[in-house]
Homo-oligomer: A and B are copies of this chain.
Amino acid sequence: MKTLYSIPLVTPGSAESFPAVSLSGPLPDGEWSVRTYTLRGGLQEGVQVVEVHNGRLSFAVLPTRGMGIWKGRCGKVRLGWDSPVKDPVNPAFINEQDRGGLGWLKGFNEWFVRCGLNSMGAPGMDTVLDYSGNPYQVPLTLHGKIANVPARSVSVEVTEEGICVRGEVDETMMFGPALRLNTEIKTSFASGAVSVADTVTNLGDNPVEHQMLYHINYGAPLLEKGSRIVAPFKQVAPRDPRSVEGIATHDLYGASEIGFVEQAYLYELAGKRGSRETLAMLRNAAGDLAALLRFSLKDFPCFTLWKNTAGTADGYVTGLEPATNYPNVRRFEREQGRVITLAGGDSRSTYLTLETLETRQAVKSAESEIAKLQETAKGIVHPEPVSSLSGS
Protein backbone atom coordinates (compact mmCIF):
# COMPACT_ATOMS: atom_id res chain seq x y z
CA MET A 1 0.00 0.00 0.00
CA LYS A 2 1.88 3.03 -1.26
CA THR A 3 2.01 6.14 0.87
CA LEU A 4 1.19 9.29 -1.05
CA TYR A 5 1.61 11.76 1.77
CA SER A 6 2.82 11.46 5.33
CA ILE A 7 2.64 14.73 7.20
CA PRO A 8 3.48 15.43 10.83
CA LEU A 9 1.09 17.97 12.32
CA VAL A 10 2.06 18.04 15.98
CA THR A 11 5.42 16.86 17.28
CA PRO A 12 6.56 16.72 20.92
CA GLY A 13 9.26 19.26 21.63
CA SER A 14 8.58 21.17 18.45
CA ALA A 15 8.23 24.91 18.02
CA GLU A 16 6.34 24.49 14.76
CA SER A 17 2.75 25.72 14.75
CA PHE A 18 -0.02 23.43 13.63
CA PRO A 19 0.24 23.72 9.86
CA ALA A 20 -2.55 24.66 7.46
CA VAL A 21 -2.43 21.64 5.18
CA SER A 22 -4.61 21.36 2.10
CA LEU A 23 -4.32 18.15 0.14
CA SER A 24 -6.63 16.61 -2.38
CA GLY A 25 -6.63 14.09 -5.13
CA PRO A 26 -8.90 12.60 -7.72
CA LEU A 27 -11.02 9.51 -7.17
CA PRO A 28 -12.95 7.54 -9.79
CA ASP A 29 -16.07 9.13 -8.46
CA GLY A 30 -15.04 12.47 -7.02
CA GLU A 31 -12.19 13.74 -4.93
CA TRP A 32 -10.59 13.08 -1.58
CA SER A 33 -9.19 15.84 0.58
CA VAL A 34 -7.43 16.59 3.82
CA ARG A 35 -7.54 20.05 5.27
CA THR A 36 -6.10 21.19 8.57
CA TYR A 37 -6.58 24.47 10.37
CA THR A 38 -6.70 26.05 13.79
CA LEU A 39 -9.89 27.67 14.99
CA ARG A 40 -9.53 31.18 16.39
CA GLY A 41 -11.54 33.32 18.77
CA GLY A 42 -13.88 32.61 21.64
CA LEU A 43 -13.73 29.29 23.43
CA GLN A 44 -12.54 27.65 20.20
CA GLU A 45 -9.26 29.63 20.29
CA GLY A 46 -6.43 27.29 19.36
CA VAL A 47 -8.56 24.22 18.63
CA GLN A 48 -6.85 22.24 15.89
CA VAL A 49 -8.97 20.56 13.25
CA VAL A 50 -8.12 17.82 10.77
CA GLU A 51 -10.85 17.57 8.15
CA VAL A 52 -10.85 14.35 6.20
CA HIS A 53 -12.96 13.72 3.11
CA ASN A 54 -12.69 10.28 1.53
CA GLY A 55 -14.86 11.14 -1.44
CA ARG A 56 -18.05 10.08 0.26
CA LEU A 57 -17.62 10.40 4.00
CA SER A 58 -16.14 13.45 5.69
CA PHE A 59 -15.31 14.07 9.31
CA ALA A 60 -13.33 16.52 11.44
CA VAL A 61 -10.88 15.21 14.03
CA LEU A 62 -10.04 17.49 16.96
CA PRO A 63 -6.47 16.86 18.17
CA THR A 64 -6.93 19.56 20.80
CA ARG A 65 -9.86 17.69 22.30
CA GLY A 66 -8.15 14.33 22.78
CA MET A 67 -8.56 13.21 19.15
CA GLY A 68 -12.35 13.22 19.32
CA ILE A 69 -14.39 13.59 16.15
CA TRP A 70 -16.34 16.83 16.06
CA LYS A 71 -18.81 16.03 13.29
CA GLY A 72 -19.16 14.08 10.10
CA ARG A 73 -21.22 13.80 6.98
CA CYS A 74 -21.83 10.87 4.70
CA GLY A 75 -23.50 11.93 1.48
CA LYS A 76 -26.49 13.88 2.73
CA VAL A 77 -26.46 12.39 6.22
CA ARG A 78 -25.21 14.61 9.00
CA LEU A 79 -23.30 12.63 11.63
CA GLY A 80 -23.48 14.42 14.93
CA TRP A 81 -25.93 16.58 16.79
CA ASP A 82 -26.74 20.11 17.93
CA SER A 83 -25.50 20.88 21.40
CA PRO A 84 -26.15 24.06 23.37
CA VAL A 85 -22.34 24.28 23.25
CA LYS A 86 -21.92 25.76 19.79
CA ASP A 87 -18.18 25.68 19.20
CA PRO A 88 -15.44 23.15 19.92
CA VAL A 89 -13.97 24.24 23.23
CA ASN A 90 -10.27 24.49 23.98
CA PRO A 91 -9.63 22.44 27.15
CA ALA A 92 -7.78 25.45 28.56
CA PHE A 93 -11.26 26.88 29.23
CA ILE A 94 -12.73 23.73 30.77
CA ASN A 95 -12.77 23.17 34.52
CA GLU A 96 -13.97 19.61 34.99
CA GLN A 97 -14.86 20.39 38.59
CA ASP A 98 -17.38 23.03 37.52
CA ARG A 99 -21.00 22.58 38.51
CA GLY A 100 -20.25 19.78 40.97
CA GLY A 101 -18.02 17.77 38.64
CA LEU A 102 -20.05 18.29 35.47
CA GLY A 103 -17.65 20.74 33.80
CA TRP A 104 -17.09 18.21 31.00
CA LEU A 105 -20.57 19.18 29.74
CA LYS A 106 -19.28 22.67 28.90
CA GLY A 107 -17.28 21.20 26.03
CA PHE A 108 -19.63 18.41 24.97
CA ASN A 109 -20.78 18.72 21.37
CA GLU A 110 -18.92 16.08 19.38
CA TRP A 111 -20.11 13.17 17.30
CA PHE A 112 -17.50 10.86 18.81
CA VAL A 113 -15.99 11.54 22.24
CA ARG A 114 -13.80 9.27 24.31
CA CYS A 115 -14.48 9.12 28.04
CA GLY A 116 -11.64 7.88 30.27
CA LEU A 117 -8.78 6.97 30.50
CA ASN A 118 -8.35 6.50 34.23
CA SER A 119 -11.99 7.09 35.04
CA MET A 120 -15.27 7.79 33.30
CA GLY A 121 -18.95 7.71 34.11
CA ALA A 122 -20.97 9.64 36.64
CA PRO A 123 -19.13 11.97 39.00
CA GLY A 124 -18.60 10.72 42.51
CA MET A 125 -16.16 10.27 45.33
CA ASP A 126 -13.57 7.56 45.02
CA THR A 127 -10.47 6.47 46.86
CA VAL A 128 -7.06 6.99 45.30
CA LEU A 129 -3.53 6.87 46.67
CA ASP A 130 -1.44 9.93 47.44
CA TYR A 131 2.32 10.26 46.92
CA SER A 132 2.94 8.37 50.13
CA GLY A 133 0.68 5.52 49.11
CA ASN A 134 -2.03 6.56 51.55
CA PRO A 135 -5.65 6.29 50.42
CA TYR A 136 -7.71 9.46 50.28
CA GLN A 137 -11.01 10.54 48.83
CA VAL A 138 -11.22 12.59 45.68
CA PRO A 139 -14.21 13.72 43.64
CA LEU A 140 -14.02 12.08 40.21
CA THR A 141 -15.55 14.28 37.55
CA LEU A 142 -17.96 13.27 34.81
CA HIS A 143 -16.38 11.14 32.07
CA GLY A 144 -12.78 11.76 33.05
CA LYS A 145 -10.05 13.72 31.40
CA ILE A 146 -9.14 12.39 27.98
CA ALA A 147 -11.54 14.55 25.92
CA ASN A 148 -9.84 17.59 27.41
CA VAL A 149 -6.22 16.70 26.77
CA PRO A 150 -4.61 18.04 23.58
CA ALA A 151 -2.73 15.44 21.53
CA ARG A 152 1.06 15.72 21.84
CA SER A 153 1.69 14.01 18.53
CA VAL A 154 -0.51 14.10 15.44
CA SER A 155 0.06 13.10 11.85
CA VAL A 156 -1.90 12.34 8.76
CA GLU A 157 -1.09 9.75 6.14
CA VAL A 158 -2.67 9.35 2.73
CA THR A 159 -2.10 6.06 1.00
CA GLU A 160 -3.38 4.57 -2.22
CA GLU A 161 -6.20 3.12 -0.16
CA GLY A 162 -7.33 5.90 2.06
CA ILE A 163 -6.59 8.36 4.83
CA CYS A 164 -5.36 7.82 8.37
CA VAL A 165 -5.06 10.36 11.18
CA ARG A 166 -2.83 9.30 14.05
CA GLY A 167 -2.60 10.87 17.46
CA GLU A 168 -0.98 10.39 20.83
CA VAL A 169 -2.59 11.78 23.96
CA ASP A 170 -1.01 11.64 27.40
CA GLU A 171 -3.16 11.54 30.52
CA THR A 172 -0.27 11.47 32.93
CA MET A 173 0.90 12.90 36.18
CA MET A 174 3.59 12.29 38.78
CA PHE A 175 2.30 10.01 41.58
CA GLY A 176 -0.83 9.14 39.68
CA PRO A 177 -2.14 7.45 36.56
CA ALA A 178 0.19 7.75 33.57
CA LEU A 179 -1.86 6.51 30.65
CA ARG A 180 -1.17 7.12 26.98
CA LEU A 181 -3.68 6.84 24.17
CA ASN A 182 -2.48 6.10 20.66
CA THR A 183 -5.19 6.28 18.08
CA GLU A 184 -5.51 5.61 14.38
CA ILE A 185 -8.62 7.05 12.78
CA LYS A 186 -8.81 5.54 9.33
CA THR A 187 -11.07 5.58 6.32
CA SER A 188 -10.87 4.09 2.84
CA PHE A 189 -11.60 6.15 -0.23
CA ALA A 190 -15.29 6.27 -1.15
CA SER A 191 -16.22 4.27 1.92
CA GLY A 192 -19.07 5.11 4.30
CA ALA A 193 -17.04 3.86 7.23
CA VAL A 194 -14.37 5.15 9.55
CA SER A 195 -12.50 2.96 12.00
CA VAL A 196 -10.96 3.87 15.33
CA ALA A 197 -8.06 1.73 16.49
CA ASP A 198 -6.96 2.73 19.98
CA THR A 199 -4.13 1.51 22.13
CA VAL A 200 -3.94 2.58 25.74
CA THR A 201 -0.63 2.07 27.51
CA ASN A 202 0.23 2.31 31.16
CA LEU A 203 3.44 4.34 31.01
CA GLY A 204 4.03 3.78 34.70
CA ASP A 205 5.66 0.96 36.60
CA ASN A 206 2.71 0.08 38.78
CA PRO A 207 -0.75 -1.23 37.95
CA VAL A 208 -3.33 1.41 37.16
CA GLU A 209 -7.06 1.34 36.60
CA HIS A 210 -8.36 2.05 33.13
CA GLN A 211 -11.84 2.87 31.87
CA MET A 212 -12.91 3.80 28.36
CA LEU A 213 -16.26 4.66 26.86
CA TYR A 214 -16.96 5.89 23.35
CA HIS A 215 -19.74 8.47 23.53
CA ILE A 216 -21.07 8.29 19.94
CA ASN A 217 -23.83 10.81 19.46
CA TYR A 218 -26.53 11.40 16.87
CA GLY A 219 -29.30 13.92 16.37
CA ALA A 220 -31.37 14.38 13.23
CA PRO A 221 -31.69 12.95 10.65
CA LEU A 222 -30.69 9.58 12.11
CA LEU A 223 -32.55 10.38 15.30
CA GLU A 224 -36.22 11.16 14.78
CA LYS A 225 -39.61 9.98 15.98
CA GLY A 226 -39.72 6.29 15.16
CA SER A 227 -35.96 5.76 14.97
CA ARG A 228 -34.84 2.51 16.54
CA ILE A 229 -31.84 0.90 18.12
CA VAL A 230 -31.23 -2.54 16.72
CA ALA A 231 -28.66 -4.64 18.53
CA PRO A 232 -28.39 -8.30 19.52
CA PHE A 233 -28.62 -8.52 23.29
CA LYS A 234 -28.62 -11.07 26.02
CA GLN A 235 -30.17 -8.65 28.46
CA VAL A 236 -31.00 -5.01 28.92
CA ALA A 237 -31.89 -3.12 32.05
CA PRO A 238 -32.88 0.46 32.83
CA ARG A 239 -30.23 2.47 34.62
CA ASP A 240 -32.51 4.16 37.10
CA PRO A 241 -36.16 4.80 38.06
CA ARG A 242 -36.54 7.41 35.31
CA SER A 243 -35.36 4.86 32.73
CA VAL A 244 -37.74 2.25 34.15
CA GLU A 245 -40.57 4.41 32.79
CA GLY A 246 -39.37 3.84 29.24
CA ILE A 247 -38.14 0.24 29.36
CA ALA A 248 -41.01 -1.02 27.20
CA THR A 249 -39.74 1.16 24.38
CA HIS A 250 -36.05 1.02 25.19
CA ASP A 251 -35.24 0.49 21.52
CA LEU A 252 -37.62 3.10 20.13
CA TYR A 253 -37.26 6.88 20.00
CA GLY A 254 -39.86 9.56 20.43
CA ALA A 255 -40.03 13.00 18.90
CA SER A 256 -38.23 15.92 20.44
CA GLU A 257 -40.03 16.81 23.67
CA ILE A 258 -39.20 19.85 25.71
CA GLY A 259 -38.45 18.85 29.29
CA PHE A 260 -37.81 15.20 28.46
CA VAL A 261 -35.47 13.78 31.11
CA GLU A 262 -32.72 11.49 29.84
CA GLN A 263 -33.04 7.71 30.01
CA ALA A 264 -30.26 5.18 29.85
CA TYR A 265 -30.32 1.44 29.16
CA LEU A 266 -27.52 -0.92 29.95
CA TYR A 267 -27.07 -3.77 27.52
CA GLU A 268 -25.22 -7.01 27.62
CA LEU A 269 -24.85 -7.61 23.91
CA ALA A 270 -24.47 -10.92 22.12
CA GLY A 271 -21.40 -11.47 19.95
CA LYS A 272 -20.11 -14.00 17.51
CA ARG A 273 -18.56 -17.07 18.94
CA GLY A 274 -14.81 -16.73 19.22
CA SER A 275 -14.26 -13.22 17.90
CA ARG A 276 -17.15 -11.93 20.01
CA GLU A 277 -17.75 -9.39 17.23
CA THR A 278 -21.03 -7.59 17.47
CA LEU A 279 -22.87 -4.66 15.99
CA ALA A 280 -25.37 -2.03 17.04
CA MET A 281 -27.41 0.13 14.75
CA LEU A 282 -29.36 3.35 14.99
CA ARG A 283 -31.81 3.45 12.11
CA ASN A 284 -34.27 6.13 11.12
CA ALA A 285 -38.04 5.63 11.06
CA ALA A 286 -38.25 4.80 7.39
CA GLY A 287 -35.45 2.29 7.67
CA ASP A 288 -33.44 3.74 4.82
CA LEU A 289 -30.70 5.42 6.83
CA ALA A 290 -28.62 4.10 9.70
CA ALA A 291 -25.47 4.44 11.73
CA LEU A 292 -23.87 1.11 12.40
CA LEU A 293 -21.17 0.34 14.95
CA ARG A 294 -19.07 -2.79 14.71
CA PHE A 295 -16.81 -3.85 17.54
CA SER A 296 -15.82 -6.82 19.63
CA LEU A 297 -17.16 -7.51 23.09
CA LYS A 298 -13.60 -8.43 23.97
CA ASP A 299 -12.77 -4.76 23.58
CA PHE A 300 -16.04 -3.27 24.76
CA PRO A 301 -18.02 -5.73 26.89
CA CYS A 302 -20.55 -3.13 28.02
CA PHE A 303 -22.96 -1.12 25.89
CA THR A 304 -25.06 1.77 27.12
CA LEU A 305 -27.81 3.53 25.24
CA TRP A 306 -28.38 7.14 26.17
CA LYS A 307 -31.71 8.57 25.13
CA ASN A 308 -32.10 12.30 25.42
CA THR A 309 -34.99 13.16 23.13
CA ALA A 310 -35.34 16.58 24.71
CA GLY A 311 -36.09 19.86 23.00
CA THR A 312 -33.96 20.62 19.97
CA ALA A 313 -32.37 23.63 21.63
CA ASP A 314 -31.46 21.62 24.73
CA GLY A 315 -29.98 18.78 22.66
CA TYR A 316 -32.13 16.19 20.88
CA VAL A 317 -29.61 13.42 20.88
CA THR A 318 -28.94 9.78 21.53
CA GLY A 319 -25.62 8.23 22.51
CA LEU A 320 -24.46 4.75 21.57
CA GLU A 321 -21.80 3.89 24.09
CA PRO A 322 -19.55 0.86 23.75
CA ALA A 323 -17.28 0.73 26.77
CA THR A 324 -15.09 -1.26 29.09
CA ASN A 325 -17.80 -0.90 31.74
CA TYR A 326 -21.05 0.93 32.40
CA PRO A 327 -20.89 4.67 33.05
CA ASN A 328 -21.76 4.42 36.72
CA VAL A 329 -19.50 5.91 39.37
CA ARG A 330 -16.14 4.13 39.31
CA ARG A 331 -16.43 2.89 42.85
CA PHE A 332 -19.56 0.95 41.90
CA GLU A 333 -18.08 -0.41 38.69
CA ARG A 334 -15.05 -1.60 40.66
CA GLU A 335 -17.29 -3.43 43.11
CA GLN A 336 -18.94 -5.15 40.15
CA GLY A 337 -15.52 -6.25 38.93
CA ARG A 338 -15.79 -4.31 35.71
CA VAL A 339 -12.84 -1.95 36.02
CA ILE A 340 -9.80 -3.00 34.03
CA THR A 341 -6.33 -2.81 35.52
CA LEU A 342 -3.28 -2.37 33.31
CA ALA A 343 -0.01 -3.63 34.73
CA GLY A 344 3.06 -1.40 34.47
CA GLY A 345 4.06 -1.02 30.83
CA ASP A 346 1.03 -2.95 29.58
CA SER A 347 -1.14 -1.94 26.64
CA ARG A 348 -4.69 -2.64 25.60
CA SER A 349 -5.84 -2.28 21.99
CA THR A 350 -9.38 -1.91 20.71
CA TYR A 351 -11.02 -1.53 17.36
CA LEU A 352 -14.34 -0.10 16.31
CA THR A 353 -15.94 0.84 13.01
CA LEU A 354 -18.54 3.54 12.45
CA GLU A 355 -20.49 2.89 9.31
CA THR A 356 -23.22 4.90 7.63
CA LEU A 357 -25.90 2.96 5.77
CA GLU A 358 -27.68 5.00 3.14
CA THR A 359 -30.06 2.52 1.54
CA ARG A 360 -32.98 0.45 2.68
CA GLN A 361 -31.13 -2.62 1.48
CA ALA A 362 -28.06 -1.90 3.53
CA VAL A 363 -30.20 -1.34 6.61
CA LYS A 364 -32.10 -4.56 6.03
CA SER A 365 -28.89 -6.47 5.56
CA ALA A 366 -27.56 -5.22 8.88
CA GLU A 367 -30.86 -6.06 10.53
CA SER A 368 -30.57 -9.61 9.26
CA GLU A 369 -27.06 -9.87 10.59
CA ILE A 370 -28.25 -8.63 13.96
CA ALA A 371 -31.28 -10.94 13.95
CA LYS A 372 -29.00 -13.88 13.37
CA LEU A 373 -26.92 -12.96 16.40
CA GLN A 374 -30.07 -12.33 18.39
CA GLU A 375 -31.08 -15.93 17.77
CA THR A 376 -28.15 -16.99 19.93
CA ALA A 377 -29.36 -14.90 22.87
CA LYS A 378 -32.50 -14.67 24.95
CA GLY A 379 -32.94 -10.93 24.77
CA ILE A 380 -34.13 -10.48 28.32
CA VAL A 381 -35.66 -7.10 29.07
CA HIS A 382 -35.46 -6.35 32.76
CA PRO A 383 -38.20 -4.05 33.95
CA GLU A 384 -36.10 -2.80 36.83
CA PRO A 385 -32.44 -1.88 37.31
CA VAL A 386 -30.27 -4.96 37.71
CA SER A 387 -27.37 -4.66 40.10
CA SER A 388 -25.03 -6.62 37.88
CA LEU A 389 -25.69 -4.05 35.14
CA SER A 390 -26.64 -0.84 36.87
CA GLY A 391 -25.45 1.52 39.52
CA SER A 392 -28.71 2.78 40.90
Which residues of A are at the interface with B, using a C-beta cutoff of 8 A? 9-18, 20, 37-46, 48-49, 63, 83-87, 90-93, 95-100, 102, 105-106, 108-109, 128, 130-133, 136-139, 149-154, 170, 172-176, 178, 203-206, 240, 242, 258-259, 261-262, 310-315, 344-345
| The residue from B40, B105, B310 contacting A14, defined by CB atoms under 8 A apart | B40
Residues of B within 8 A of A205 (CB): 258-259, 310-314
Instruction: Give the complex CA separation of A167 and B174 in angstroms.
Output: 27
| The residue from B92, B95, B258 contacting A97, defined by CB atoms under 8 A apart | B95
| CB-CB under 8 A for A41 and B14, given A86-B170, A345-B313 | yes
Instruction: Give the complex CA separation of A345 and B258 in angstroms.
Output: 12
20 sampled A-B residue pairs with Cβ under 8 A: A11-B41, A15-B37, A15-B39, A17-B40, A41-B63, A43-B150, A43-B170, A84-B173, A86-B172, A93-B150, A95-B95, A100-B138, A102-B130, A102-B131, A102-B173, A106-B172, A108-B174, A204-B313, A205-B313, A206-B258
**Contact: B93 with A132, CB < 8 Å?**
no
Instruction: Give the complex CA separation of A154 and B42 in angstroms.
Output: 9
Shortest Cβ gap from A177 to chain B (Å): 9
| CB-CB under 8 A for A150 and B45, given A173-B99, A204-B314 | yes
Residues of B within 8 A of A151 (CB): 41-42
Instruction: Give the complex CA separation of A172 and B170 in angstroms.
Output: 28
| CB-CB under 8 A for A41 and B10, given A97-B97, A258-B206, A313-B203 | yes
Residues of B within 8 A of A38 (CB): 15
Residues of B within 8 A of A242 (CB): 132-133
Residues of B within 8 A of A154 (CB): 41
Beta-carbon nearest neighbor of A46 in chain B: B45
Residues of B within 8 A of A102 (CB): 130-131, 173, 175-176
| CB-CB under 8 A for A42 and B105, given A100-B138, A313-B203 | no
**Contact: B96 with A95, CB < 8 Å?**
yes
**Contact: B14 with A39, CB < 8 Å?**
yes
| The residue from B84, B132, B203 contacting A261, defined by CB atoms under 8 A apart | B132
**Contact: B87 with A173, CB < 8 Å?**
no
| The residue from B10, B128, B176 contacting A42, defined by CB atoms under 8 A apart | B10
Shortest Cβ gap from A245 to chain B (Å): 12
Residues of B within 8 A of A86 (CB): 12, 152, 170, 172
**Contact: A152 with B42, CB < 8 Å?**
yes
**Contact: A40 with B12, CB < 8 Å?**
no
Shortest Cβ gap from A120 to chain B (Å): 15
Instruction: Give the complex CA separation of A178 and B242 in angstroms.
Output: 24
Residues of B within 8 A of A20 (CB): 15
Instruction: Give the complex CA separation of A84 and B174 in angstroms.
Output: 6
Beta-carbon nearest neighbor of A16 in chain B: B40
Shortest Cβ gap from A168 to chain B (Å): 8
Residues of B within 8 A of A49 (CB): 15
Shortest Cβ gap from A106 to chain B (Å): 4
| CB-CB under 8 A for A91 and B91, given A40-B16, A84-B172, A205-B311 | no
Which of A84, A87, A131, A240: most chain B CB closer than 10 A? A84
Q: A16-B41, A108-B174, A174-B315 are in contact. List 9 more A-B contacts (CB 8 A).
A: A14-B41, A18-B40, A42-B151, A45-B150, A85-B173, A92-B93, A102-B175, A132-B261, A205-B258
